[in-house]
Amino acid sequence: MRHRTLGGLRVSAVGLGAMPLSIEGRPDEERALATVHAALDAGVTLLDTADSYHLPGAEPGHNERLVARALKAYGGDTSAVLVATKGGRGRPAGGDWTVNGSPRHLKAAAEASRERLGVEAIGLYQLHKPDPAVPFEESVGALRELLDAGTIRLAGVSNADADQIRRARAILGDRLVSVQNRYAPAVRDSDPELRLCAELGLAFLPWSPLGGLSRSSLDGPSRTEGTGRFAAFHAVAAERGVSPQQVALAWLLARSPAIIPIPGASRPHTIRDSAAAADLLLTPEETARLDEATGRGARPAPVTDT
């Protein structure tokens, strides 16, 4: 497993998005725990969760508690594992995703997440989404207070644009370490944010990184397409003898040293396949083919890993 840097920490180049283990269509607990353990066995040291990853109308924190149980039950060393969680969204009955970025809510949510995870301080805590009803500086200010109080060790923002990233940086300084936006073969809207992260030395954590190859867990059951715009991913996969999803993750890693994809998984074999993408090095010719399929875009910086 290759590694990348997040807030001065050395983490796996591919993480695990744990959301599918707790939302609609989730597996039973035995398989869910086995999925997390398979990720750890494969060298994954970044686990992404959130307090809102639960069934609609259910009690917040299902996914956080599950991740905590999985780490406790794991037979190996977990000291290098970074658990990243998020606050500021909700899932009331009906299935809609709500937003609440008030400082009071975020501070209470972070404390609740800390207790569910069973840690003295949350490794990485991210504002899940800017709240249009709350001044952005107030929401980020709550992260600063959580950092100062020692409730969280590192802070990030999610679903943020370039201007918001700069404003968060002005408030948090070097304690802002990550941006978690949607980015995938089919979703390139965050190219400006990716370039900014590379410039500022922030980790960029693409959520739903297989868009175009697989549907997001938010969109329903996973599926793949072997024709059309993204056929190049399937062609390269066939030539390499690997999955198109693995090629997509390798392509993401090749785009920028800031990128640490966090693909979701609900089966052990799925995360094992995703983790293997960290060691799949694409040739310049393959990368060019895949860039052409997704739309041309300048690379933020040369890619280096450890």
Nearest by Cα to 180 from 161, 206, 153: 206
In sign, the C-alpha dihedral spanning 17, 21, 26, 30 is positive
pLDDT given at position 227: 52
Chunked mean pLDDT (size 10), the chain, 306 residues: 96 98 96 98 98 96 98 97 98 92 98 98 98 98 98 98 98 98 94 97 96 55 56 94 96 97 97 98 96 68 48
> What is the Cα–Cα distance from 28 to 206, expressed in whole angstroms?
26
pLDDT given at position 218: 40
pLDDT given at position 236: 95
- 3-class DSSP state for residue 107? helix
Active site residue 125: no
Among 53, 74, 125, 183, the one annotated catalytic: 53
- 3-class DSSP state for residue 251? helix
The distance between the two most distant Cα atoms of the chain, rounded to a whole number of Å, is 53
Q: What is the DSSP code (8-state) at residue 18?
A: -
pLDDT given at position 301: 45
Report yes or no: 237 and 277 within 8 Å, Cβ to Cβ.
Answer: no
pTM of the model: 0.92
pLDDT digits (tens, 9 = 90+) for 134-179: 999 999 999 999 999 999 999 999 999 999 999 999 999 999 999 9
CB atoms near residue 196 (< 10 Å): 21
pLDDT given at position 280: 98
Which tokens go with 256? Answer: 């920028």
pLDDT given at position 99: 97
Nearest by Cα to 125 from 107, 102, 98: 107
- Measured in whole angstroms, the distance separating CA 226 from the mean position of its chain's CA atoms is 25
- Burial class of 141 by CB neighbour count within 10 A (0 to 12, 13 to 18, 19+): middle
pLDDT given at position 110: 98
Residues 6+ apart with CB under 8 A from 54: 22, 23, 60, 61, 62, 63, 91
pLDDT given at position 296: 54
Report yes or no: 63 and 50 within 8 Å, Cβ to Cβ.
Answer: yes
